[in-house]
Every structure is written in structure tokens, then in C-alpha cells.
Amino acid sequence: MKIVACNANRPLAEAVAAQLNLPLTKASIRRFADMEVFVEILENVRGEDVFVVQPTSFPANDNLMELLITLDALRRSSARRVTAVIPYFGYARQDRKTASRSPISAKLVANLITEAGANRVLTMDLHAAQIQGFFDIPVDNLYAAPLYSRDIQEQYNGRDIMIVSPDVGGVVRARMIATRLNCDLAIIDKRRERAGVSEVMNVIGDVEERDCILVDDMVDSGGTHCNAADALKRHGARSVSAYVTHGVLSGGAVARITSSPIEMMTITDSILATEAVKKAHNVRELTIAPLLAEAMRRISEESSVSSLFD
């Protein structure tokens, strides 16, 4: 078993390798003067079970190309099996045609990863679960729910909490955590006029004098979560916090969150944190390295990954 780290989130790859007590495989992933990606594997990987750790976060296209070229390099180096470990799967929001003559880019990316040489994919909290069906190779989609459930129990022990889904599409994810914690569930009825702009319509559920916890798979501009927090406070919520797996946090998202009613937003290290995220007073980070490492170990040993969530 070998682990190759691309450049998108090297600290996470190092943490995973430390959990598995393995060194990272030596590899050179660099740019030519015209920003072409060049990859060279500096160790023998013939017949090995290789895992490539690379979230396809910002800059999404550069990181995707790094992943594809690394997969191709390993395939041509006669690796026995190559698993693409993609903690954050970019382009996942383009999982269907939203208008006439629009692409389904998530399917295109799935095809590219498969053709580049991946034998299987390990990812986390896909924006749309059906993306697993876009691949003709095995896909393991991990969930942050067990990690979040344990942390919520530690942070909110004895408080009257309510799990809140910020939109109808996230109800299944929120219900999973609410069931684990044996607490109530509320839903934000949201209308999205265009990409990146949302408007809260209504709060379904009695949140008055409750400590509300928003649960979602990703935060990008932060508008949805800030609007949801405002709506929950208007409906009498005692406090509002958030647990979001992927902290995309583009543009002025961090500033928007720091000035919002959200007391604390907890994200994972699936995406490398920016300086703004590290300095934000109400954004904290949980590591997914132990979870990824255990899933990778089980894949290598051909044992059950789904039992991680039983």
C-alpha cells in the first residue's frame, strides 16, 4: 500500500499517512513555465495498491488536472490498483441539466477520472449521492455524520438542540444526524433565484428557545447559511451554529460568516484552509484524517467500508 499526495491538500495527506504509519510515496508534481502540469513518480509502484489524495477544490481545474495526470502516471508505472481519494469532489453541483443546453459536468469529470486510470474512488459527503452512479468503477462515499454526532454530543451536552436542514435537498443528511442524537429536526424552505443567491422563505418546525444546528455538505458563498441563521433567530432560536463538511468559502464568505448570527461554524479539513479561515473567530476545523485512513486501510485489506457507519 502506497500513498501519493498531490498539491491541493498535502497536510491532510500527511496526516492520513501518519495515521497509517506509512511514509508518503516520493513524487514530483510541478509546473512548466507555461503552467503545464508534470508528474513523476520517484519510487517503484509496480504491483502496488496506490492511493492518490487530491481534493478537486479551488483552483478546481488545476487540481483536477494534477489528479488526472498522476493517475495516468501510476497506471503507466504498472500499479496493481489505483484509488483516487477525493475528499471534496469538485463539479458535484453540476449533477443534472438545470436548463436547456447545459452540461452535466459531474458525469464528464467521472469519465475523465476513470479514463485516466482510477480503479476506484474514495470520496466524502458527495453533494448529490447519485454521482456514484456516474462512475463505472466502485465508489465509496464516506459520511461526516458519525464525526459530527460525537462532536455535537461533546459540545452541546445537556442543551436543548434541534438539527436544521438549510434546504429541502439536505433533509436526509440532517435526519441522519438527528436520528443519531435522538433530537428534533427542522427544515428551511429556501428559494434559489440563481446560483450563489438564495432567499429564505419559511422555517418548518418550532425552533423557539432551541439551540439550532445547521447541517450541510458544503458552504460556498455562505449566503444560504447566513440567511438561514437570520431566519432562525427571527423565529426565536436561542442560538445558531453550523456543521458543514466542505468549507469551500469562496469570495467574501468568511467575512459574511464572521458578521452573521452563526456562533460557530464547524468544517472539516477536506479542503485546505485559507488564512482567512484560520483567523476567523467563529470557524473551527475537525480533521477527517482518521476516518480517511481507516477507510483506505479497509479498502486495501478488502474488508467492509460501510461498517464504519453502522
The answer on 297 and 205 residing in a single domain is: no
What single string gives the DSSP state of each residue in 125-181? S-SSGGGGGG-SS-EEEE-SHHHHHHHHHHHSTTS-EEEEESSGGGHHHHHHHHHHH
Q: Do 303 and 244 reside in the same domain of the chain?
A: no
Q: How far apart are CA 102 and CA 178, in angstroms?
A: 36
> Is 190 assigned a catalytic role?
yes
Residues 191 and 262 in one domain: yes
Of residues 149, 137, 237, 146, the one with CA closest to residue 188? 237
Q: Are residues 58 and 107 located together in one domain of the fold?
A: yes
Do 189 and 257 sit in the same domain of this protein?
A: yes
In the chain, the amino acid numbered 184 is D
Q: Give residue 195's pLDDT.
A: 59
Shared domain check, 62 and 24: yes
Given the residues 2, 107, 190, 279, select the one marked as catalytic.
Answer: 190
DSSP 269: T
Same domain, 154 and 59: no
215, 232 contact by CB (below 8 A): no
218: Cα within 13 Å, side-chain hemisphere: 22
pLDDT tens digits in sequence order for the chain, 310 residues long: 999 999 999 999 999 999 999 999 999 999 999 999 999 999 999 999 999 999 999 999 999 999 999 999 999 999 999 999 999 999 999 999 988 999 999 999 999 999 999 999 999 999 988 999 999 999 999 999 999 999 999 999 888 999 999 988 889 999 999 999 999 999 998 766 665 555 666 899 999 999 999 999 999 999 889 999 999 999 999 999 999 999 999 989 999 999 999 999 999 999 999 999 999 999 999 999 999 999 999 999 999 998 888 6
pTM beyond cutoff 0.75 = yes
Give per-residue pLDDT as tens, 21-72: 999 999 999 999 999 999 999 999 999 999 999 999 999 999 999 999 999 9
Do 36 and 161 fall within a single domain?
A: no
d(CA 157, CA 155): 6
Could you tell me the end-to-end alpha-carbon distance of the chain, in angstroms, rounded to an integer?
26
Residues 108 and 64 in one domain: yes
Measure CA 254 to chain center. 17
Q: How many domains does the chain have?
A: 2
Q: What is the pLDDT of residue 98?
A: 86
Q: Are residues 136 and 168 in the same domain?
A: no
- Kindly report the length of the chain: 310
Q: Which amino acid is at 52?
A: V
Q: What pLDDT sits at residue 168?
A: 85
Residue 169's domain comprises: 145-287
Q: What is the residue whose three cell numbers read 510541478?
A: 30
The CA distance from 59 to 272, in Å, is 11
> Is the domain of 97 the same as that of 194?
no
d(CA 233, CA 214): 12
Domain of 163: which CATH number? Answer: 3.40.50.2020
Domain shared by 13 and 107, yes or no: yes
